[in-house]
Structure 1
Amino acid sequence: MPKAGIIYNDDKPVACRVAKQWQDKLHRYGWDVCIATGVGGILGYSTPEKPMCHTSVEQLTPVGFDADMNFALVLGGDGTVLAACRQVAACGTPLLTVNTGHMGFLTETYLNQLPQAMKKVLAGDYQIEERTMLRVQVLREDRVTWEALCLNEMVLHREPLTSMCHFEIEVGRHAPVDIAADGVIISTPTGSTAYGLSAGGPVITPDVPVLQLVPICPHSLASRALVFANSEPVTIFPANPNRLVMVMDGNAGCYVLPEDRVRVERSRYSARFIRLQHPEFFHVLREKLGWGLPHVAKPTSVELP
């Protein structure tokens, strides 16, 4: 019996309704169906009193999800997609992502197109696109105090009402650099269209095997975004007396103390997305972010009525 999964945002009534509808339909088609909410992929926050607030990636997998699962249907916005990527990372399940939110930059289709999309998926008429994910660890001496997997980016920044920070950063075996800024972003190509783009970093197409480092509000004209091979691990030493805040994919994080260091590297797991046609990244940029739209000149004269 073929096996499918459904991960949905239980805060959205429409996602709950559609999840139940497709669970029933797939059962009628002879599929074994496992269903879960995206809550299990939201990592939560640690505090100075409870720094050990992480769960291994392998323990995030919902009950019934495994390597034998053909695909999983994800119903929600980008936050649900990010959570689902963590939940199925260990079993490598391909995801058909359906937008029930707002931007939906990471989603493949919309609710009104879901019947046609599912027809193609059930017929095996699709491609799988793999996206790089990051493993992020906070280490105190040689002990891991926090760990997470992310698809977009890791952000390390100052707390409100504190001064600008200094970061000593080592990329692979290269000489360390010092960056004075409000914070730093390490992102994947997928994350280059998220916080990294807002902070002035370049857009990177998903198929390029690189990561990028983007300073946030740097105090130097020389501190600009850096793109480097994703085979290079990154170690960040907070060179200032105040604690910092680290956030992953915008929904989880922890405090980083002066004696800590942060290690970021490409994960051995990747996000696997179902594509119903050949991936066209420039079309997504145009549709979601308005990139490359033609310039419309103002008229040279206006005729008054």
Structure 2
Amino acid sequence: MPKAGVIYNDAKPIAYRVAREVEAYLQEHGWEVHLATGVGGILGYSQPNSPVCHTPIDRLNPPGFDEKMSFAVVLGGDGTVLSAFRQVAPWGIPLLTINTGHMGFLTEAYLGNLPPMLAQVMAGNYEIEARSMLTVQVLREEVLLWEALCLNEMVLHREPLTSMCHFEIEIGRHAPVDIAADGIIISTPTGSTAYSLSSGGPVITPGVPVLQLVPICPHSLASRALVFADTEPVTIFPANPNRLVMVVDGNAGCYVLPEDRVRSQRSCYDAKFIRLQPPEFFRILREKLGWGLPHTAKPSSVELP
């Protein structure tokens, strides 16, 4: 019997209702179905008295989700998609992402035509778009304290009410650089339309094998976004006496102390998106972010005084 999964945002009643409808539809067509919520992919925030909240990357999969699962349906917004990939990427499970949220930049479709879309996926009539992910680790000497998978970005920044920070950064075997800023973003191409875009970084099309480093509010005109090959690991050493806060994909993180270091590199796991039609990134940019919309000229009949 083929196996599928459903991951839904349990904070939204519509997502739960549709999840049960999808479960029933797949079971009627002879599929074994497992349900899970997006909560399992939220890694949790540490506390000042317990700076590390650590769950290994390969232990986040919900019960029944493994390499034998053909696909899973995600019902929610972008946050649920990010959480779902942390749960299933190590098992290579492709996701059909259905938007029940607001922006839905990472989702494939809306709820309107769900039964035909499920039939198309069950028939295997779709493409897989693989997008790179990051493995982020916090180490003290050689001891691994914390790790996470992320699809968008990792952010290392100062705590509120503290001063600007210095970061010593090594990219691959290149000479280290020192950046003074409020924080540092390491982003994948998928994440280039998220926090890094708001911080002045460039938009990168998903298939380009690169990562980017974006300083947050740098104290230098020379400290600007840097794009580099995703074969290069990045190590960040906090060069200041205060602890820092690290956040992954906007929903989980830990404290980073002065004696720690943060290492980011392209993960061996990819996020596999199910595409029901050939992906068109520029169309999504136009529809979701307004990129490339034509300018409307002023009427030529207007007479100046």
Q: What TM-score results when the alignment is normalised by the length of structure 2?
A: 0.97
Residue 54 of structure 1: how far off its partner (Å)? 1.2
For residues 53 and 254 of structure 2, what CA distance do their matches in structure 1 show? Answer: 8
Give the aligned partner of residue 251 of structure 2: 251
Q: Which amino acid aligns with 1:79?
A: G
Q: Give the match's secondary structure for 2:59.
A: helix
Separation in structure 1 between the aligned mates of residue 52 and residue 195 of structure 2, nearest angstrom: 26
- Report the secondary structure of 2:51's partner residue: coil
Shift of 1:300: 4.6
Secondary structure of residue in 1 paired with 2:258: coil
The question of whether the paired residues in 1 share the 8 Å contact of 2:52 and 2:254 is answered with no
CA distance in 2: counterparts of 1:277 and 1:3, whole angstroms: 23
Structure 2: segments with no counterpart, 5+ residues: none
| Distance (Å, rounded) in 1 between the aligned partners of 2:166 and 2:113 | 48
Count of aligned pairs:
303
Residue 22 in structure 1 maps to residue 22 in structure 2? yes
Deviation for aligned residue 1:52: 3.3
Aligned amino acid, residue 10 of structure 1: D
Alpha-carbon shift at residue 115 of structure 1 (Å): 2.0
Alignment of 1:73-84 (within 5 A): 73-84=73-84
Partner residue in 2 for 1:274: 274
How do residues 53-64 of structure 1 correspond to structure 2 at under 5 angstroms?
53-64=53-64
Cα deviation 1:163-188 (Å, max 9, x = unaligned): 11110000000000010111110000
Aligned twin of 2:207: 207
Displacement of 1:301 in angstroms is 4.9
- Counterpart residue number, 2:174: 174
* Contact 1:65–1:88, Cα closer than 8 Å, also in 2: yes
Kept in 1, the 8 Å contact 2:169–2:235? The answer is yes
**2:155/2:184 contact within 8 Å kept:** yes
The residue type paired with residue 88 of structure 2 is V
How far is the alpha carbon of 1:241 from its aligned partner?
1.1
Greater mean alpha carbon deviation, residues 293-302 or residues 191-200: 293-302
Distance 1:283 1:113 in 2: 20
CA RMSD of aligned residues (A): 1.1
Q: How does 1:1-305 map to 2 (within 5 A)?
A: 1-302=1-302
Instruction: Please report how far the alpha carbon of residue 302 of structure 1 lies from its aligned counterpart in structure 2 after TM superposition.
Output: 4.8
Q: What secondary structure, in the 3-state scheme, does the structure 2 residue paired with 1:204 have?
A: coil
Deviations 1:158-213 (A, max 9, x none): 11111111100000000000101111100000000000000000000000000000
Q: Secondary structure at the match of 2:220?
A: coil
Contact 1:57 1:89 in 2 (8 A): no
Give the secondary structure class of the aligned counterpart of 1:45.
Answer: coil
> Deviation at 1:123?
1.5
**Identity value in percent:** 76
Query: Quick one: distance in 2 between partners of 1:284 and 1:114?
Result: 20
Q: Which moved more, 1:92-101 or 1:44-53?
A: 44-53
TM-superposed CA distance for 1:140, in Å, is 1.1
Q: 2-side partners of 1:195 and 1:18: how far apart?
A: 30
AA aligned to 1:256 is V
Deviations 1:11-41 (A, max 9, x none): 0000000000110111111100011111000
- The letter for the 1-side match of 2:215 is P
Moved more, 247-256 or 114-123: 114-123
Letter aligned with residue 43 of structure 1: L
Give the distance between the partners of 1:168 and 1:113, measured in 2 at CA. 50
Name the aligned partner's letter for residue 180 of structure 2: A
CA–CA separation in structure 2 for the residues paired with 1:241 and 1:293: 47
Comparing 42-51 and 151-160, the one that deviates more: 42-51
Per mean C-alpha deviation after superposition, the further-off stretch among 196-205 and 139-148 is: 139-148
SS of the aligned residue for 2:20 comes to helix
Task: Provide, for residues 229-260 of structure 1, a one-character-per-residue CA deviation record: whole Å limited to 9, x for no partner.
Answer: 10100000111111111100000011111111
The answer to whether the 8 A contact 1:247-1:254 is kept is yes
| CA distance in structure 2 between the aligned counterparts of 1:226 and 1:92, rounded to whole angstroms | 30
Q: Any idea what SS the aligned residue of 1:170 has?
A: strand
Do the aligned partners of 1:51 and 1:145 also contact (CA within 8 Å) in 2? Answer: no
